Structure 1
Amino acid sequence: MRTTGITGTTGRLLASPWRRSAVAAAAGALPTLAFPAPSLWWLAPVVLVPWILLARTAPTGRRAACDGWCGGLGFMLAVHHWLLPSLNVFTVVLAALLGVLWAPWGWLVRRFLGGSPSPGRCAAALVVLPSGWLAVELVRSWQGLGGPWGMLGATQWQVAPALRLASVGGVWLVSFLLVAVNVAVAVLVAVRSARLPAVAGLAATAAAASAAWTWAPRPAPAGQVRIAVVQPGVVAGADSAEHRFALQERLTRRLAGRHPDLVVWGESSVGHDLGDRPDLARRLAALSRAVGADLLVNVDARRSDRPGIYKSSVLIGPDGPTGDRYDKMRLVPFGEYIPARSLLGWATAVGKAAGEDRRRGTHQVVMDAGRGLRIGPMVCFESAFPDMSRHLARDGAQVLLAQSSTSTFQHSWAPAQHASLAALRAAETGRPMVHATLTGVSAVYGPDGERVGSWIGTDAHTARVFDVPLAHGSTLYVRLGDWAVHAALLVLGLTCAVEALRVLRRPGRSAAAPRVPPARTAHGSPVRPGR
């Protein structure tokens, strides 16, 4: 195999399809370094460049698609490597299946940047390739395929200009512009004749960030509330649910006299249905009276009023459950249910996949937590979905809440990755967000996505009160929704139309010239080869 555009030692290395695939997987894994816990966010504008440079040199479109697939496999495996202890070899299978989504993107890279591309093709690549990347992120954001975990824009969760961009077009817009910058850098490195459009692309990205910083609507301050997060830490043992409840009870009582407006417990903080255990409901009501605030707990148990196990956010007042309840809608594949269990049920034999499917809720809920405070709860995995927090903000939630637990992955990168997502959701909606976990990392962010106080790490068991700033007004993302995704799909649609026209206009054998009948001998028989 000849690798176009690469010579010398590198060319010989990539001449082998297997070695080239390994290099593609390694290049695809590089973006993981920009996410927590390494959090090398400043790498994000260039972290795709090796992958792009590799795919553009593919000798054929099929090989470029393979480079995209292998890079996608490397990316998905790296960003989800902490699943290996739970799903074992099935993690690799899932990564390989999801990696296929990047195959068309690899083909697009070669189509627009391969060989000696014209400045016009390079200029088009600055729009088409980010659009292709966004299409991949859109498809894999379906919760059945694992949800929007590891979106490239999420690497910028602590960068103020990027958070302002998120308020305009969501994390989607941040991903789009990051890929555009990576493409521009790749063109600067590899295509000398097209440096002008590359520089123009970088200038346009800077202008977009500056415009968002200057003109994007900012949330207007609207006072503050005191929200307490109770994090009990790891509790082991056969009766861990009872021990955890008792520990959370003791930690919550320490809040008496500190005047919180709301107390939040983490996911699965109550292991019994309160209808079956009225004694627990009475103890929670007593806690609410002791601290002078409502409690938001999370019940992970088989329901007494309907069949199945639900994960539910339940609001507790001084007289017991208030009647406000939210049942988790988007479940974690394999962790809380197994997609197509009849086909994939064998995953329970090779890892810690769900032995029984949890049941889903049907709609989101905005709760009145008293004192005029309206809260929008989500459960764990759901904080990764931009549309869920956007809908809660549109429905009037003043504070977004995510009750979570990543104790299974306590010593991995997962807790920090999960906690960082709340910064994006806060910036997108202009609403503060509280990420409360059982075992850390717990975190609170203000309406601009800025961190409020310090994270509560995975080694802590505590009850901490945060002064959370409120805001009113609406961000452009809340008003306009996923317009960046729609624009990307429009770009891809136009690209497909142009490519189709180009193929139709290309002279084919049937259209090049009228068919000439074969030569015949004097007797009328066809002249055969060699005669």
Structure 2
Amino acid sequence: MSATTTSLDEPDQLAPQPSSASRGRRLARALARPAAAALSGLLLYASFPPRPLWWLAPFAFAILGAALHGRRARTGLGLGYLAGLGYLLPLLVWTGVEVGPGPWLGLVAVEALFVAVAGAGIAYVSRLPLAPLWAAGAWIAVEALRARMPFGGFPWGKVAFGQPDGVFLPLAAVGGTPLLGFAVVLCGFGLAEAARRWSEVRRLLDRRIAFAAVLALAPVVAGFAALPLVDNSAQDGSTTVALIQGNVPRMGLDFATQRRAVLDHHVRETLKLAADVRAGRAKQPDLVLWPENSSDIDPYLNADAYDAIDRAAKAIKAPISVGAVVTPHNGAGSPLNQQILWDPVKGPVDTYNKRQLQPFGEYMPYRSFFRIFSSDVDLVRKDFVPGHKAADFDMAGTRVGPVTCYEAAFDWAVRDQVKAGAQIISVPSNNATFDRSEMTYQQLAMSRVRAVEHSRAVMVPVTTGVSAVIRPDGSIAQKTRMFTADALVANVPKRSSQTPATRLGTLPEWLLVALAAAGVGWAVTRTVKSRG
């Protein structure tokens, strides 16, 4: 019996076994594409401010394009999700600074699904002629979707917002953030296609390599060609603007409990600036901009708050745009995130109500449902209500378009204010709850892109910094340090012309969506014919 057993065992003992080296190679091949997808996301994150590494973005898309080429759509879905995690996990970490990792991880898990859909679309069109063109369209089409849903959309992290220092930036004046983002993505996918073709034929004088190289270089050339649209000239004269950064006593979510102190800080800095003006140490401003939430005490209901703001306006002898939380109907209504135009003689004379409210920050959608997962939903005690119309303030002869904080991420919100007549744009913000995270730098980058997109000087008054004066070419003229009380005074150009991006509105975006649809439609037709 033992002899028989031995004879049966011998074939197994003699059969060739895979070596550990071959198993390692197979594992490495299996992990290569997922690792490349995750790496592409990390590189895309690294291209964003505060790092001046905008040039990493095309290489991020080159790696992503190589990982997705020739894959099935369902494989692209998974690889896209990995890219989304690599990108959004570090980019949005600030959303969990004060409330813990739950909201941050939940937001990333949802937003990465959009990148997954883009990955599926990119993979599906990757075998078409001129594949980089269709693939770049697919990415922008998904960005357009992400900017609109759910809960009004979350366009934070659009590729365009990482390019305030890049060679592609002038294209924002041609077709807004969709065209700017498309140029970056197309350049990256063109690089990937050129590298892939080179690996196949190993000669430069090849038609397919030449086509891919053109697709990679065309966005760079287009960026330089659009430079004449970038203009810092004062078409309608200039105005002297003061930005007040009052700072807060303590950072964190208890910002709301410091309401009176925050108001007093902004009044104090304005009075200090007024004293410097009288002493000749500072130039008399024509208008003054305070940040969002500089008065969370309703000045219409609280006489002390009213008097404090009025005293500051009279001292500085200029109108102030005050960021306030206002509760209509004698305190019985729903709160409004409001900018109040405060005249030094007449008091409050005009208002702008924030239209794009931040879900889970200014209102709580499906409160009872989300309470199942976290009691933090009740940190939003009372839902704000949105405003419904654009408005520009006439501040001592200068038309100022307020775009309150989160609204700066939305193309339509900024464009509406310019079309309403704004000669300069103000982005009053409150970043006090996000500590020293990268959030404030990401938002500042958005404002720089908006300056070029609409050829307007953009003022960014922030409670805790970074406050900044941005020229129409997107460069920063002055800025503050974070968590430091300060005032900026600058002479800025007033402009009234409209860029092609302003005039065209959403048309460039819809054309790029149509490009993506055409690519997917072509790929579907080829698939059907091949199966027939």
Aligned to 1:383: 408
SS in 2 for 1:307: coil
Question: For the structure 1 residues 425 and 314, does the alpha-carbon distance in structure 2 shift closer, same or farther, using more than 3 Å as the test?
Answer: same
Aligned 8 A contact 1:87 1:347 in 2: no
Q: Single out whichever of 137-146 and 438-447 deviates more from structure 2.
A: 137-146
Find the partner of 2:493 among 469, 484, 492. 469
What letter is aligned with 1:155?
A: G
SS in 2 for 1:412: coil
Aligned to 2:270: 252
CA–CA separation in structure 1 for the residues paired with 2:55 and 2:531 = 48
Aligned 8 A contact 2:289 2:321 in 1: yes
What is the Cα deviation at residue 217 of structure 1?
Answer: 7.2
Find the partner of 2:480 among 449, 452, 456. 456
SS in 1 for 2:495: strand
Alignment map for 1:47-446 (pairs within 5 Å): 47-56=60-69, 58=71, 60-85=72-97, 86-113=99-126, 117=127, 121-123=128-130, 125-142=131-148, 144=151, 147-159=154-166, 161-192=167-198, 193=201, 194-214=208-228, 216=229, 218=231, 220-222=233-235, 223-236=237-250, 240-256=258-274, 257=277, 258-305=283-330, 307-346=333-372, 348-349=374-375, 354-370=380-396, 372-446=397-471
What is the Cα deviation at residue 57 of structure 1?
Answer: 6.0
What is the Cα deviation at residue 218 of structure 1?
Answer: 4.2
CA–CA separation in structure 2 for the residues paired with 1:352 and 1:224 = 46
What TM-score, normalized by structure 2, do the two folds share? 0.85
Aligned to 1:519: none
Deviations 1:43-80, CA, capped at 9 Å, x for gaps: 1221222222222264x432222111222233222210
SS in 2 for 1:66: helix
What CA RMSD, in Å, does the superposition of the two structures yield over aligned residues?
A: 2.5
CA–CA separation in structure 1 for the residues paired with 2:86 and 2:372 = 24
Identical residues among aligned pairs (%): 27
Aligned to 1:15: 30
What is the Cα deviation at residue 142 of structure 1?
Answer: 2.2
CA–CA separation in structure 2 for the residues paired with 1:349 and 1:112 = 44
CA–CA separation in structure 2 for the residues paired with 1:188 and 1:350 = 50
Deviations 1:151-206, CA, capped at 9 Å, x for gaps: 111111123x4332111111211110110111011112223254221111123223
Question: For the structure 1 residues 407 and 14, does the alpha-carbon distance in structure 2 shift closer, same or farther, using more than 3 Å as the test?
Answer: farther
Find the partner of 2:517 among 493, 499, 507. 493
- Any stretches of 5+ residues in structure 1 without a counterpart? 1-6, 509-531
Question: For the structure 1 residues 497 and 187, does the alpha-carbon distance in structure 2 shift closer, same or farther, using more than 3 Å as the test?
Answer: closer
Deviations 1:466-519, CA, capped at 9 Å, x for gaps: 2212223221111112332111111122223323433443454xxxxxxxxxxx
Aligned to 2:19: none
What TM-score, normalized by structure 1, do the two folds share? 0.85
CA–CA separation in structure 1 for the residues paired with 2:74 and 2:326 = 49
CA–CA separation in structure 1 for the residues paired with 2:33 and 2:288 = 53
SS in 1 for 2:461: strand
- Any stretches of 5+ residues in structure 2 without a counterpart? 1-21, 202-207, 278-282
CA–CA separation in structure 2 for the residues paired with 1:189 and 1:9 = 26
Aligned 8 A contact 2:249 2:262 in 1: yes
The count of residues paired between Structure 1 and Structure 2 equals 488
Aligned 8 A contact 1:126 1:183 in 2: yes
Aligned 8 A contact 1:28 1:74 in 2: yes
Aligned 8 A contact 2:370 2:377 in 1: no
